[in-house]
Amino acid sequence: MTRRVAIVGVGYSDFRPATPDVAFHEMMFEAAVKAYEDAGVNPRKDIDSFIACSEDYWEGFSIFDEFVPDQLGAVLKPVCTISADGMYGVINAYLQIRTGAFDIVAVEAHSKASDIVNMWHVMAFAFDPIINRPLKMHPYVIAGLEMMKFLKDSGNTEEHCAMVVAKNKKNAMKTPYASYGSIISPEDVLTSETLFHPLKKLDASEFVDGAVVIVLAAEEVARKLTDTPIWIKGVGWCTDTPWLEFRDWSRAVYAEMAAEMAYKMARIHEPAKQIDFAEIDDKFSYKELQHMEALRLCRKGEAGLLVEEGVTERDGDLPVNPSGGFLGVGNPLEAGGLVKILEAVLQLRGEAGKRQVPKAEVAVTQIWRGVPTTSGAVVVLGRE
Amino acid sequence: MIIKRKVAVVGAGLTLFRRRMQETSRELAWEATKMALETAGIELKDVECVVMGSAPDAFDGIHMKGENLADGCGGWRKPYTRVFVGGGTGVFVPIAAWWHVASGHFDICLAVAEEKMSPCHPHPQWAFHTIFDPILSRPLGVNLIWIFALEMHRYMYKYGIKKEDIALVSVKNKANALDHPCAQLAAKITVEDVLNSEVLVWPVQRLDISPITDGAAAIVLASEDVAKKLTDSPVWIEGVGWCLDSRYWTNRDLAYPKYVEYAARMAYKMAGIHNPPKEIDVAEVYDPFDYKELHHMEGLLLARKGEAPKLTKEGVTQRDGDLPINPSGGLLGVGNPIAAAGLMKVCEIFWQLRGEAGKRQVPGDPRTGLAQAWGDLMQIGTVIVMRA
């Protein structure tokens, strides 16, 4: 029961808001080749299992799993699709290796959001078809409502949310794969167009295209492949409820429960002290605050204060989203979790260049599946 | 390869298989889930994680269908994951549930598969149209029956198989289904009935093909210690295998499903099976079309290439034959709610190995069983080997 699992290779394609020059399988190929090179593995000989993460409606196919194997070097191999974020794929790869039946597993997820001409309609298809869809609401109405309830209950403010946006977009200026880096002030956010009160245009992340591949290996194999294996110390994931009518609108219960599971496994009792930096879901600015509290990186109601005091800056005591998060990198749909893990791996290896955080021994990564879901995952990574 | 932890199936549940069920997708999933929990003697609070499977979102017209179905599958405030390998999903759900438990992280995992095909208008085949490449194939207006017709034709041509021999599968499975309480298309038919039924895409005729179905299935998996506490007759999952072939179906050998063979070899190796036809006592082989049962028997190494029709003709695959295939009635008889149909097969093996299959029970106290499904674009094989 003690078979440890490490990340031994990461690779990503160019992340851009639009990629008319490449098809999804070309992006996947690029990410896969880089990840296999990074890990020093041959997919046809060495990799025992492949996991791709996708949702059919994002792809415009009925069974997207069909289109996965060739460009990953996975033809006639165990390949499957997890219909969820890439972080779920990493968790399942981890579980597969822990059984003892697999030594090396590769995980892929990508976004071709720019191909989706009717994004809001596609997202609205996730609403319950009988109870909610007839209301014909924009999916971000959910985010506006939740933001209002969260701010009211937690005592955080719209200004705190605006500071998160300014911080993340500034961080993204130094991230080579980030598309939405900029130097803006919190006032710019507060004065941007209101989407669904109190949610402003700049509170919401923009979509981006890109692919990420991550290679995981069992301990004995990982030590042979690399001098800097990044260990998976804890995993957790959770679905609260699909019902808009019954969910908790102020707390991210899914993130609380997923974090508890992952922390227990990683023996983390005081996350705020034991974790050096966090890459967490910020599809909307308030979500970063809500998730910081759910992950016990601060006390309830104090996330905004930490942001205000600069604690979550890249050079602060607890850097949050040093990559720039989704607000800075862009929201790559199901590849979101892999972007979080990619950044954490680069930081933990000390390969993050100009955006390297000062202390990087233990990181927490977290993802939420976006509106209207209450599902998410947490992975704790470390150098030891 | 050392699997550290044994995993058992300790409960199973199944809904009626029908077209246009009144229940919503969530309600169907819950009905099967509830039955599985009750037969395992546990409650929802005992379940530590949930794995669910359902085929294309386009059937229900719900984006991220897995999220919408979560509470119907018992996935409320729990680790919950949807896996998806097209038609192979039904047998893949218990495979994914297996690695949840075998990893050592969970003791009780619920595996649920649900499908509601009938809301898809004008016909689910239109959802299948969008499984094809949008540039190369979709402009042809293709659907699934077209390519199965190509495959069936190739299989018949290569081994000189007659339609009469293939029709025997449909006759057998629909007759077997007469004993299945959930069955949608159980019937006493003859080879002539099959040959005289409406031609859909030659050589595929109406009675060669499984129906459109709504339904759900569920099983409960447990680790060794917990399983032994819950039941005196756990059914062990001894081998799992899956394999996906290239997206370019036009480059494949249509006469032989190599990907099924690879998946089977993976499962046999794990289960320590060296002579499948001798060591497998009962098999539930994926049969959405009658020729597919034969095709898959060969891929699973239960028959030599081109010889499955002969075994069928000799009665070897009948419920009282030497190698009973699809004693449940299969997809042709019980129905084909895509993901749920695959898990129905796993449920059947569970009941057969426990001696609980009632009128469908194969004689001779079967000890080792196999369930298999197939999916994506004639591309993936999923195999599970179970022992009493």
DSSP states of A97-161: HHHTS-SEEEEEEEE-GGG-TTHHHHHHTTS-TTTTGGG---THHHHHHHHHHHHHHH---HHHH
Please identify which residue in the block is written with the tokens 């297996």: B98
Q: Global pTM? A: 0.97
Residues in Cβ contact with A230 at an 8 Å cutoff, skipping those fewer than 6 apart: A6, A7, A344, A345, A348, A349, A381, A382, A383
Q: Are A111 and A332 in contact (CB under 8 A)?
A: yes
Task: Decide if pLDDT at B296 tops 80.
Answer: yes
Asked if the C-beta of A135 comes within 8 angstroms of chain B's C-beta atoms, the answer is no
> What is the separation of C-alpha B317 from the centre of its chain, rounded to a whole number of angstroms?
17
In angstroms, the CA A177 to CA A329 distance is 7
Q: Which CATH superfamily is domain A134-205+231-382 in?
A: Thiolase/Chalcone synthase (3.40.47.10)
- Quote the CA–CA distance of B212 and B305 in Å, as a whole number: 30
Q: Is A119 on the interface with B (CB under 8 A)?
A: no
Q: How many CA atoms lie within 13 A of B171 on its CB side?
A: 18
Give residues with Cβ within 8 angstroms of A24, minimum separation 6. A59, A67, A110, A112, A115, A211
DSSP letters for B183-207: -SS-----HHHHHHSPEEETTEEGG
A174 φ/ψ angles, rounded to the nearest 5 degrees = -100, 5
Least confident of A282-296, B112-126, B252-266: B112-126
Mention every residue, 6+ apart, whose C-beta is less than 8 A from residue B197: B205, B206, B207, B208
**B76 and A240 in contact by Cβ < 8 A?**
yes
C-alpha of A79 from chain center: 22
A16 in reach of chain B (CB within 8 A): no
Region of poorest pLDDT, from A378-382, B126-130, B283-287: B126-130
Distance CA B57, CA B6 (A): 33
Alpha-helix residue ranges (DSSP H) falling in chain B: 25-40, 57-60, 65-69, 89-102, 124-129, 144-159, 163-176, 191-196, 224-230, 258-271, 276-279, 290-299, 308-313, 330-333, 338-354
**From A62, which residue of chain B is nearest by alpha-carbon distance?**
B131
% of residues, chain B, pLDDT over 90: 91
Decide if A118 touches B, using CB distance below 8 A.
no
Structure token digits, residue B325: 């295939």
Q: Which of B117, B238, B244 to mutate to test the interface with A (most CBs of A within 10 A)?
A: B244
Phi, psi of B264 (to 5 degrees): -65, -45
Nearest by CB to residue B58, choosing from A56, A74, A243, is: A56
- Whether the CB-CB separation of A86 and A210 falls below 8 Å is answered with no
CATH 3.10.520.10 at A5-118+209-225, yes or no: no
- State residue A47 phi and psi, 5-degree precision: -85, 130
Asked if A295 and A378 count as a contact pair (C-beta separation under 8 A), the reply is: yes
Q: Nearest chain B residue to A1 by CA: give it.
A: B104
Closest CA to A356 of A170, A166, A214, A175: A175
Distance CA B63, CA A55 (A): 8
Query: Which residues from chain B sit within 8 angstroms of residue A369, using beta carbons?
Result: 64, 67
A63 closest CB neighbour out of B56, B70, B75:
B56
Residues on chain A touching B129 (C-beta within 8 angstroms): 62
Is the model's pLDDT at B180 over the cut of 60? yes
The dihedrals phi and psi of A200, each to the nearest 5 degrees, come to: -100, 165
Interface contact flag, B262 A253, Cβ < 8 Å: no
Is B372 strand, coil or helix? Answer: strand
* Per-window interface: B 354-383 vs A, CB < 8 A: 375-377, 379-380
The residue in chain B having the minimum alpha-carbon distance to the alpha carbon of residue A119 is: B63
Interface A-B, measured as beta-carbon pairs within 8 A, has a size of 191
Residues of chain A with pLDDT under 70: 1
* Phi and psi at residue A131, to the nearest 5°: -85, -40
A88-98: b or e for each residue (b if 16 or more CB lie within 10 Å)?
bbbbbbbbbbb
pLDDT at B249 over 90: no
CA pair distance B93, B221, nearest whole angstrom: 11
Q: Does A352 touch chain B (CB under 8 A)?
A: no
Residue ranges of domains in chain A = 5-118+209-225, 134-205+231-382
Contacts of A82 in chain B (CB under 8 A): 81-84
Nearest to B63 among A57, A88, A236 (CB): A57
* H and E: helices and strands count for chain B: 15, 11
| Fold held by B7-122+211-387 | Peroxisomal Thiolase; Chain A, domain 1 (3.40.47)
Q: Distance, in angstroms, between B382 CA and closest chain A CA?
A: 9
| Among A residues 265-324, those touching chain B with beta carbons less than 8 Å apart | 265
Find the residue in A nearest to B51 (Cα).
A82
Model confidence at B3: pLDDT above 80: no
Tokens of B294: 């034969």
pLDDT tops 90 at residue B250: no
User: Does B127 touch chain A if contact means CB atoms closer than 8 Å?
Assistant: yes
Put simply, the answer to whether B100 touches A56 (Cβ < 8 Å) is no
* The predicted structure's pLDDT at residue B254: 94
* Partner-chain contact A78 B92, CB within 8 Å: no
- Phi and psi (nearest 5°) for B368? -125, 130
End-to-end CA distance of chain B: 23
Report the first-to-last Cα separation within chain A, whole angstroms: 18
| CA atoms of B236 and A338, how far apart (whole Å) | 35
Instruction: Write out the two tokens for B203.
Output: 């050589």
Query: What are phi and psi for residue B23, nearest 5 degrees?
Result: -65, 150
Confidence of residue B125 (pLDDT cuts 50, 70, 90): confident
CA of B69 vs chain A CAs: smallest distance (Å)? 8
Partner residue facing B57 (CB), from A56, A80, A238: A56
A68 touches chain B (CB under 8 A): yes
Assign B121 a pLDDT band (cuts: 50, 70, 90): confident
Q: Is B8 helix (H, G, I), strand (E, B) or coil?
A: strand
Token output for B287 = 């049969």
pLDDT-based confidence at residue B1 (cuts at 50, 70, 90): low
Q: How far is A65 from chain B (nearest CA, A)?
A: 6
- Please list every residue in chain B whose beta carbon sits closer than 8 Å to the beta carbon of residue A62: 56-58, 127-131
Side-chain-side CA neighbours of A342 within 13 Å: the count stands at 33
Write out the two tokens for A3.
Answer: 């078979």
Torsion (CA) A158, A278, A356, A323 in degrees, nearest 10: -50
What distance in Å separates residue B76's CA from the closest CA in chain A? Answer: 5
List CB contacts of A113: < 8 A, sequence separation 6 or more: A58, A119, A207, A208, A209, A331, A332, A333
Residue B236: name the closest of B40, B10, B2, B32 by CA: B10
Q: Shortest Cα distance from A89 to chain B (angstroms)?
A: 10
> Does residue B68 sit at the A interface (CB-CB below 8 Å)?
yes
Inform me whether the C-beta atom of residue B93 falls under 8 Å from chain A C-beta atoms: no
The fraction of chain B above a pLDDT of 70, given in percent, is 100
At how many degrees (to 10) do helices B163-176 and B144-159 cross?
120
Which two tokens mark B50? 């949930």
Domain A134-205+231-382 in the same topology as domain A5-118+209-225: yes
Work out the minimum CA distance from A7 to partner chain B, whole angstroms: 17
Residue B143: its pLDDT value, please? 87
Q: Contact A79/B380, CB-based, under 8 Å?
A: yes
Best mutation target among B6, B48, B59, B67 (most A Cβ atoms within 10 Å) is B67
Quick one: tokens of A140?
């971000």
Q: Are residues B111 and B382 in contact, defined by beta-carbon separation less than 8 angstroms? A: no
Residues of chain B with C-beta less than 8 angstroms from the C-beta of A240: 76-77
- Give the one of A65, A76, A130 whose C-beta lies nearest to B84's C-beta: A65
A window 226-255, beta carbon within 8 A of B:
236-243, 253
- Cα torsion A382, A384, B4, B10 to 10°: value is -30
Q: Which of A75, A122, A238 has its CB closest to that of B79? A: A238
Does pLDDT of B2 surpass 80? Answer: no
3-state secondary structure of B77: coil
SS3 per residue for B254-272: CCCCHHHHHHHHHHHHHHC
Q: Averaged over B93-122, what is the pLDDT?
A: 96
